[in-house]
Each structure stands twice: as C-alpha cells, then as structure tokens.
Chain A
Amino acid sequence: MNFADGEFELKEIQKLEGHTDRVWSVAWKPATGINGVPAVFASCSGDKTVRIWEQDSTGSFHCQAVLDETHTRTVRSCAWSPTGKFLATASFDATTAVWENVGVDFECVSTLEGHDNEVKSVSWNKEGSLLATCGRDKSVWIWEVLPGNEFDCVSVLQGHTQDVKMVQWNPSMDALFSCSYDNTIKVWVEDGDSDDWHCIQTLGESNSDDLTIKIWSDIDKSQDWHKNAPWKHVCTLSGYHDRTIFSIHWSREGIIASGAADNAICLFVENNDNEVDGPTYKLLLKKEKAHEMDVNCVQWNSGDRRLLASASDDGTVKIWELVRLSGQKL
C-alpha cells in the first residue's frame, strides 16, 4: 500500500458515551468488521465495567452489553481469545475475569486469582491455549486453558524489579513480551515442554517515559531463540508527542497508530524514500485534540475498512476511519 501520494485524514465516525469514568482500553473482537460480520469491540473503564459495542447496518455503533457486578475496582485491560469466544478482563481488584460470549450474552465463567495487587494487562497467545497477566506485584503469570473453562497457572515469572505494565504474546510464536516500570522489556519462552519459562532477552535500559516510540526487529531471523538474543532496536520516533505515550498499535497494513497524554493520535507509515539499512518510519498525520483528555488506547480493527478505536480519560470511545482527504476510502 502506497501512502506517499495524496493526503490522508483520520475522520471521526462516532463518539461513544456510556462509561461513567475514564476508558482505559478497547479491544476489537477478532473476525468482525469483515465479510459482512458487524464490527464488535469491548471497552473497559474506571467505572468497573466492560461495555460491548456492535456496529449496526447503518454503520453506527451501539452498546450491546454492560459487563458489571464482577470487578470491584477499575478494569484496566481486556483481550479477546483468537476465535472471539472468550473475553478476558484484567482489574485493579487483583483478578482477571474470563467471560464466555454466546450469541449476545456474556457470562463470567472463571476468575483468575493470584496476583497480590492490581492486574494491569492480559494477553492470549495465538492458539488461545495460554493466557498471560501481569501487575504491580512485579510478576507475570502464565495460565493454561483447560477443558471445561478451567484455567491453571503454569508459571509465575519473576525478573522485573518493578511494576509490570503490559504483556503481549508474539502473534506467530509462543514468545511473551512484558514491559515494566523498571524501564525494560523482557522476552520469555518455554524450555521445551517442561513448563519452565525463562527470560531469553532483556531490552531497554533507557527511561520508559521518554516520549519516544521505539521499533525492534528480529531481522536476523535466528531459528534458535534459546541461544541468541534476536531482538534489535532498529528505529526511534521522537518529537511527535510531548506527553506520555500510552498506546501503540500496528494495523495489518503496517500503519502504526499512537495515542498519548497530549490528547493526540499520530499515524506513522514506513518510509520508502530512504536508502538506509533497515526500516524507517515517517509521520502520516497527527490528529491534535482527538479527545478532550489523555488518549489511553488506540486499536485498529483488522477488517475491511480502516477503522481505529480510541479510548480516553474523557470517558468516551471514538471510532475513526482513515480516508483520503477527498473523502474517498482507500
């Protein structure tokens, strides 16, 4: 996809109100917004609830369900299993709830306990067979999904020396990435089948709130992750946000969206003009005043329209579409 010709805009499609406190995260339900399946996403909030939103035939989103009376504190993060059958919600109440989605209903089928205090992030692996959580207790927990909606903790990873803010599985293999207040990112893999997870690489060492975006790659594509530390820093994007960057997400076409405490959303694309080794990125556009307060999360829908959802301290979720300035869709 060539973004070099023409100008683009991030057009606001809709502003969704409903939450009564800041919205921390949004997550699109997999395989929705494509092939005629209406787009669906979940949002989670300081109001202790999770809301499910669905797009109708006119293109408008409306709230389909409110998942409440389960978490007793802020719901910080949510993640759908790869098939969209389950939604996991991580809360400051130290638990992670797992909800089963049957039709339009959501039922809490399991509550994962174990963290000492706030759980900050949750992520499913590519197969949907493992779940990872992390929190202020400095640990990362890996849970195995068993039949009958049972979840078993298979490992507690200690290694970070401070608050762990986010975990994310690699989309193509069972490598887990965790990032922490201790200014590092750790890469964890399993030792054969022994349920023994260990850290194969630690990235970072610079200030984690340095207002930059860093891009890393396993360019060498080493097959043996257990012997080599494959991830290398390839690019830094700086000067685009002047307050904390809270969220970053890659679209399936490689457009990077970022959301920050300066109330703005930025979009970056790969820069094909340079002859330098390795990828570089350039700003496609900056949407100032995307929200009235901090942008906490940005997420691309992976369907057939370039839809982006953003969540904010202003209590709203906004849906955007990336279009050419003439109004034509890409």
Chain B
Amino acid sequence: MKFNHSLTFLHHIRDIKDPEHPYSLEELKVITEDAVEVDDERSYARVTFTPTVEHCSMATVIGLCLRVKLMRSLPSRYKVDIRVAPGTHATEAAVNKQLNDKERVAAALENPNLVDMVDECLAPSYA
C-alpha cells in the first residue's frame, strides 16, 4: 500500500466539532496534519485520530463523524478505515473493531438521536 499524507482529505474533516467541547477536532489535536493516509490508486484511505482522554467514551462518536463526513465527501469507490492512534485508548482493539464494523455503523446511522449529534458536529465542516 503506497500512502501519501493527504491535506486535501484532511480539509474535509479538520473543522468537525468535537461532540463534547466547542472546538474543532484539529484545535483539540484529535486530528493532526498526519491524520489521513491515502492510496488513491487503490481507492483507500485511513484516518487515525487521538481521543482527548484515554477512556474517552466519545471515541466511537468521533469515529462515526469522521466516517460520515468522508462518506459524503469522497467518491463511492473509496474504502475507509478509521482507527484510534495506537496506545491512545484503553480499549483500542474493541474501539477500532466497532469503528470499522459496517453493520454497526449502518445501524447507528438509523438512530435519529445519534444522527442529530453527528450532524451537529459536522455542521462547521461544510463551510
């Protein structure tokens, strides 16, 4: 897999608002410039984010926000993996598994409360 760090893709997600604090993911350093790796030839992107605290209960919501924004912004041929930065979450493997479980993501996006929360976080990123 040949990766390039993509500032273009970063642009889609840097202004997403954190679910708990009135700051963007970039301002809180949840997302950094290195966050997005892209292999355009293989239509693959991977996003790595750092939750604000190790036991962050919002990790799955942040992951969902990232996935939804990229889903809406990228061509449908893209495969996207989302993960927490290694060593930054107490239950890293479990969180990563859930973030990339397509069935769980689909079900979450049918939950109106969750969709409202995600849309609120994504609003600043459409500007």
- Pick the 9 closest A-B CB pairs, nearest first: A118-B107, A73-B110, A92-B107, A92-B110, A74-B106, A293-B76, A74-B110, A46-B106, A243-B79
B70 CB to closest chain A CB, in angstroms?
A: 14
Of all chain A residues, the one with the shortest Cβ separation from B76 is: A293
What are 16 A-B interface contacts by the 8 Å CB criterion?
A22-B106, A46-B106, A73-B107, A74-B107, A76-B103, A92-B107, A118-B103, A120-B103, A136-B104, A163-B104, A181-B101, A209-B97, A209-B100, A293-B76, A293-B77, A294-B102
| Chain B CB within 8 A of A165 CB | yes
| Chain B CB within 8 A of A56 CB | no
Chain A interface size band reads 20 to 34
Using CB atoms and an 8 Å cutoff, list the residues of chain B in contact with chain A.
76-77, 79, 97, 100-104, 106-107, 110
Chain A residues with Cβ below 8 Å from B101 are 181
Chain B residues with Cβ below 8 Å from A152 are none
In the complex, what distance in Å separates the CA atom of A200 from the CA atom of B89? Answer: 36
In the complex, what distance in Å separates the CA atom of A265 from the CA atom of B13? Answer: 33
In the complex, what distance in Å separates the CA atom of A14 from the CA atom of B57? Answer: 46
| Chain B CB within 8 A of A116 CB | no
Residues 88 to 144 of chain A near chain B (Cβ within 8 Å): 92, 117-118, 120, 136
| Chain B CB within 8 A of A292 CB | yes
Chain A residues with Cβ below 8 Å from B103 are 76, 118, 120, 165
Chain B residues with Cβ below 8 Å from A39 are none
In the complex, what distance in Å separates the CA atom of A163 from the CA atom of B106? Answer: 14
A104 CB to closest chain B CB, in angstroms?
A: 30
Chain B residues with Cβ below 8 Å from A243 are 79
Residues 52 to 90 of chain A near chain B (Cβ within 8 Å): 73-74, 76
In the complex, what distance in Å separates the CA atom of A137 from the CA atom of B31? Answer: 33
14 further A-B pairs in the complex, CB-CB below 8 A; given A76-B103, A163-B104, A181-B101: A73-B110, A74-B106, A74-B107, A74-B110, A92-B107, A117-B107, A120-B103, A136-B104, A181-B97, A243-B79, A261-B79, A261-B102, A292-B77, A314-B76
Q: Contact between A292 and B104 (Cβ–Cβ < 8 Å)?
A: no
Residues 208 to 254 of chain A near chain B (Cβ within 8 Å): 209, 243-244
In the complex, what distance in Å separates the CA atom of A243 from the CA atom of B102? Answer: 12
Of all chain A residues, the one with the shortest Cβ separation from B110 is: A73
Chain B residues with Cβ below 8 Å from A292 are 76-77
A178 CB to closest chain B CB, in angstroms?
A: 15
B67 CB to closest chain A CB, in angstroms?
A: 14
A165 CB to closest chain B CB, in angstroms?
A: 7
